[in-house]
């Protein structure tokens, strides 16, 4: 910029682009409206996941098409442990990344129009995260469909702890209601086995409440 | 009123805000310290990729970041970060020392796109830690940051730039950094309203979720983030912390109108503490982000001060 006028024009363009993203609620790198931890789903309860490092380090319980069972760990997949935790706690339970929750919430009509026109439908309408884990695991190991070595079933057990608002307000975090749920992903669909033994199909639409992490 | 003062008063607010704030030497010095900090920051951000087995499995991403998806990149090539990372660090240092500065900026940006893309595509959680960095690098690129305080500037004997040429990019960086906090507050209000702060608020929810995600020891303590667990059991304290966050994010842009370096330093130490707390309590990894705050100071004066201190020290050491 060799003159103040050209510098001012550049600054105008710069701020229109970077701050325009804020008004348009764009959250695609390198632009952002900085929503990071801005979403709070206020409900009567708070559900969180009690992790277990030893269970998680062992990995996902997997079954091959030939019936053999094994564990698939972060080291086997060669991915960072934080990402394996997200896979174990969230994706296998069909929970997407948090930006999906933020993207379409409380949209102004103009924002909704441009998102649906240029980006597509709400990503939460057709969640397929659990199935994607199975696809990624097989893809990583190079197993083709029809390969007897391929993984046809994955399982991940996690304890879901639910606090009431009264417990949270009093700081009583020792006595949540705990339910062990096991995500079961197969080639024919994804399921959750609840603590009482009941097996349900994994929800794939927008969930009313979710466990946070 | 002398002539220069009357000239100044005739200039618009925008002119005074962007063009009359810094000396010519400041931009190059900020580039130097920013570049050094950037190398450390980026290595820290991508260490997780460098801990993987370079010759291990190539993971098929569960959800590639948008530009990987557009380019058809759906697999993590596990040896590639071991090549990209040294190039990235070298480019940061070239940028810092003012050697091939502009090409170095392009290389750094390309490396960030690749490394961030790889990191954020494993399971699809997109992090925001490189967004202000990118915005600042764009400003460095379009400024004359290479004209002073660098190897090329010295070798090619470039003529010094004027004060206004150094001032506007630094002021634009400051605006971006300060508004980043303010927009974060606006986003909270747009998404959750005041519910974000009510009772223990979102902070208590996060403290609990983060503290328990690695489970408990046999004695019933959380494995990690025990401070977060203890704090979450005191919702009153968490509420006041939430109010502090509200006030910090709302008022931080005031720094844009502060000229006294001591007040700025005080405010930025507060911001740095905010990031350290987020890291210690919630594992939110903006820990080294405060290095960007060098953009708020005339780092040339700091550099001269540091050099004079070192010069004073050397004879003292020699005498001893």
Best to test chain B binding among A8, A18, A74, A93 (most B CBs inside 10 Å): A18
DSSP string, B21-76: SS-HHHHHHHHHHHHHHHHHHHHHHHHHHHTS-TTS---B-SS--HHHHHHT--B-
How would residue A203 be classed by pLDDT, with cut points 50, 70 and 90? confident
Our CA-based measurement puts residue B201 at a distance from the nearest CA of chain A, in whole angstroms, of: 8
| Whole-complex ipTM | 0.93
Grade residue A1 by pLDDT with cuts at 50, 70 and 90: confident
B80, burial (CB in 10 Å: exposed 0-12, middle 13-18, buried 19+): middle
Query: What residues contact residue B313 under an 8 Å CB cut-off, 6+ apart?
Result: none
Taking the C-alpha atoms of B301, B304, B307 and B311 in order, what is their torsion angle to the nearest 10 degrees? -130
Q: Does the residue B302 lie in any domain?
A: no
A177-186 and A151-164 beta bridge pairing: antiparallel
A positions 28-67 inside 8 Å of B (CB)? 28-40, 42, 46, 48-53
B237 inside domain: no
Better-scored residue on pLDDT, A124 or B238: B238
Q: Report the percent of chain A where pLDDT is more than 70.
A: 96
Domain of residue A57 covers 40-100+123-201
CA distance to partner chain B, nearest, from residue A205 (Å): 18
Asked if A66 and A148 touch (Cβ cutoff 8 Å), the reply is yes
The token pair at B175 is 């605006």
**Structural domain total, chain B:** 1
Chain A residue nearest residue B109, CA to CA: A30
B129 within some domain: yes
Q: How many domains does chain A have?
A: 1
In a domain, B131, yes or no: yes
Residue B315 lies in a domain: no
Pick B205's closest partner by Cβ from A32, A46, A141: A46
The predicted-structure confidence for B32-82, as pLDDT tens digits, reads as follows: 999 999 999 999 999 999 999 999 999 999 999 999 999 999 999 999 999
Is B239 part of any domain? no
Q: With CA atoms as reference, report the closest residue to A48 among A170, A181, A166, A156.
A: A181
Arithmetic mean of pLDDT, B103-122: 98
Of the residues A2, A74, A171, the best mutation for testing chain B's interface (the one with the most B CB atoms within 10 Å of its CB) is: A171
CB contact under 8 A, A39 and B191: yes
Measured between alpha carbons, how far is B158 from B280 in angstroms, rounded to an integer?
46
Which secondary-structure segment (H or E) carries B119?
A: helix B101-121
Kindly tell me if the per-residue pLDDT of B222 is higher than 80.
Answer: yes
Look at strands A177-186 and A60-64 and give their pairing. unpaired
Task: Give the total residue count for chain B.
Answer: 320
Decide if A81 is inside a domain.
yes
Identify whether A187 is part of a domain. yes
Residue B32 CB-half CA count within 13 A = 21
Q: Do B215 and A50 touch (CB under 8 A)?
A: yes
Measured CA to CA, the distance from residue B74 to residue B83 in angstroms comes to 19
Average pLDDT over every residue of A51-62? 97
Residue B144 within a domain: yes
Tell me, yes or no, if A118 comes closer than 8 A to chain B by beta carbon. Answer: no
| Mean pLDDT value of segment A87-111 | 91
- Of residues A29, A97, A171, nearest to B123 (C-beta): A97
How many percent of chain B have pLDDT more than 90? 89
Would A127 be classed as within a structural domain?
A: yes
Domain boundaries, position B123: 22-178
pLDDT in tens, A136-157: 999 999 999 999 999 999 999 9
């Amino acid at each position: 910029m060799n003159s103040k006028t050209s510098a001012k024009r550049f600054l105008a363009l710069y701020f229109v682009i970077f701050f325009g993203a804020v008004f348009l609620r764009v959250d695609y790198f390198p632009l952002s409206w900085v929503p990071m931890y801005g979403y709070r789903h206020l409900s009567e309860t708070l559900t969180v996941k009690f992790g277990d490092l030893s269970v998680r380090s062992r990995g996902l319980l997997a079954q091959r098409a030939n019936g053999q069972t094994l564990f698939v760990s972060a080291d086997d997949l060669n991915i960072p442990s934080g990402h394996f935790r997200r896979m174990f706690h969230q994706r296998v339970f069909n929970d997407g990344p948090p930006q999906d929750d933020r993207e379409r919430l409380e949209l102004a009509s103009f924002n909704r129009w441009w998102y649906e026109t240029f980006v597509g439908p709400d990503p939460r309408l057709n969640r397929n995260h659990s199935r994607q884990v199975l696809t990624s695991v097989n893809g990583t190991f190079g197993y083709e469909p029809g390969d007897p070595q391929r993984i046809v079933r994955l399982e991940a057990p996690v304890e879901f702890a639910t606090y009431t608002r009264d417990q949270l307000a009093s700081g009583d975090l020792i006595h949540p209601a705990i339910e062990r749920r096991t995500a079961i992903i197969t080639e024919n669909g994804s399921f959750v086995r609840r603590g009482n033994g009941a097996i349900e199909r994994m929800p794939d639409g927008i969930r009313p409440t979710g466990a946070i992490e | 009123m002398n002539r220069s003062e009357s000239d100044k008063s005739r200039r618009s607010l925008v002119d005074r805000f962007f063009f009359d704030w810094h000396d010519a030497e400041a931009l190059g010095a900020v580039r130097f310290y920013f570049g050094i900090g950037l190398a450390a920051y980026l290595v820290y951000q991508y260490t997780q990729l460098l801990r993987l087995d370079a010759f291990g499995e190539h993971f098929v991403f569960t959800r590639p970041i948008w530009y990987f998806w557009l380019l058809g990149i759906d697999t993590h090539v596990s040896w590639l970060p071991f090549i990209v990372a040294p190039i990235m660090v070298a480019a940061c240092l070239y940028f810092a020392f003012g050697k091939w500065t502009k090409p170095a900026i392009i290389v750094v940006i390309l490396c960030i796109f690749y490394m961030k893309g790889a990191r954020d595509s494993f399971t699809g959680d997109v992090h925001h830690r490189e967004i202000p960095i990118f915005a600042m690098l764009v400003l460095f690129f379009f400024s004359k940051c290479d004209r002073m305080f660098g190897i090329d500037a010295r070798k090619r004997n470039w003529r010094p730039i004027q004060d206004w040429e150094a001032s506007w990019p630094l002021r634009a960086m400051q605006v971006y950094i300060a508004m980043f906090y303010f927009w974060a507050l606006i986003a909270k209000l747009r998404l959750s309203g005041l519910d974000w702060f009510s009772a223990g608020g979102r902070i208590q929810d996060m403290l609990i979720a983060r503290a328990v995600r690695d489970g408990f020891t046999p004695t019933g303590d959380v494995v990690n983030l025990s401070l977060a667990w203890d704090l979450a059991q005191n919702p009153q304290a968490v509420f006041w912390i939430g109010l502090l966050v509200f006030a910090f994010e709302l008022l931080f842009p005031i720094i844009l109108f502060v000229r006294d370096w001591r007040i700025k330093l005080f405010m930025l130490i507060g911001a740095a503490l905010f990031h350290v707390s987020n890291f210690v309590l919630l594992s939110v990894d903006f820990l080294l982000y405060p290095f960007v705050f060098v953009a708020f100071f005339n780092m040339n004066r700091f550099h001269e001060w540091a050099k004079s201190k070192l010069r004073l020290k050397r004879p003292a050491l020699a005498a001893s």
